[in-house]
Amino acid sequence: MRHPSEKSRSLFRSFVLADLITLANASCGMGVIFLCLKHVTGSHTPYLWCIFVLLPLSLVCDVLDGFTARRLTRHSPLGGDLDSLADIVSFGVAPAALGFTLGLRGLWDALVLIYFVVCGISRLARFNVTAATLADETGKVKYYEGTPIPSSILIVAILGIFYWQGHVDNLLPLGSYQIGLWVFHPLTVLYAVSGSAMISAIRIPKP
């Protein structure tokens, strides 16, 4: 029977270069989440702008890992699942945490942000399950069903503009509304639309 530490070492030894790039993607996403947590707990870090560097860097890693795997023709059995798990961190949870950090903190906002993350998880699960049936004779999947979860980087870009304009903790440009007992920010609609597009049946050609 192997010692637990030997099992851990064998796992990491099974990773190829593409997997390490995928893990870099997830690491960038976690860095964003930590910066958001530090800000909302009252430690207003002057480095919040790093978020708008880390998330695009996550996108670069997400593109690069697939390119590297194809270029080197080296894949690991864990590659596909690693990619999906990293994507939900960097393009699902991290953008939702960023929205909360920048002022989307009403209960209606929170429900929409949760919906957005749930849609992202569902989108990735559907792709993993259906990829084999969508692939052609060469094994290549020609199209996505629903928008890919990295498309949430568009929301990050919009939030980046608001941050650059100085709107932190209170997204005033679109205001807020009291609906029942809870506050709602119209900007949250971006997350609702993005989440709905991810779980739609829209077919998008896969590069």
Nearest CA among 113, 110, 104, 123 for reference residue 176 = 104
- The pLDDT tens digits along the chain (207 residues) read 555 555 555 666 677 888 889 999 999 999 999 999 998 887 766 788 899 999 999 999 999 988 887 777 766 767 778 899 999 999 999 999 999 988 898 899 999 999 999 999 999 998 888 776 766 655 566 777 889 999 999 999 999 988 887 766 555 567 778 888 888 889 999 999 999 999 998 887 776
What residue type is 5 in one-letter code?
S
Are 21 and 132 in contact by the 8 Å Cβ rule? The answer is no
- Helices 51-72 + 79-88 axis angle, to 10: 170
Closest by CA to 36, choosing from 50, 23, 25, is: 50
This prediction's pTM: 0.86
Both tokens of residue 102?
A: 């920048």
CA distance 103 to 112: 14
Which pLDDT does position 10 carry in this prediction?
A: 67
Contact of 92 with 59, CB cutoff 8 Å: no
Contact at 8 Å (CB) between 27 and 66?
no
DSSP 3-state of 76: coil
Tokens read off for 1? 């029977």
3-state secondary structure of 143: strand
Work out the angle between the directed axes of helices 153-164 and 51-72 (0-180°, nearest 10). Answer: 150
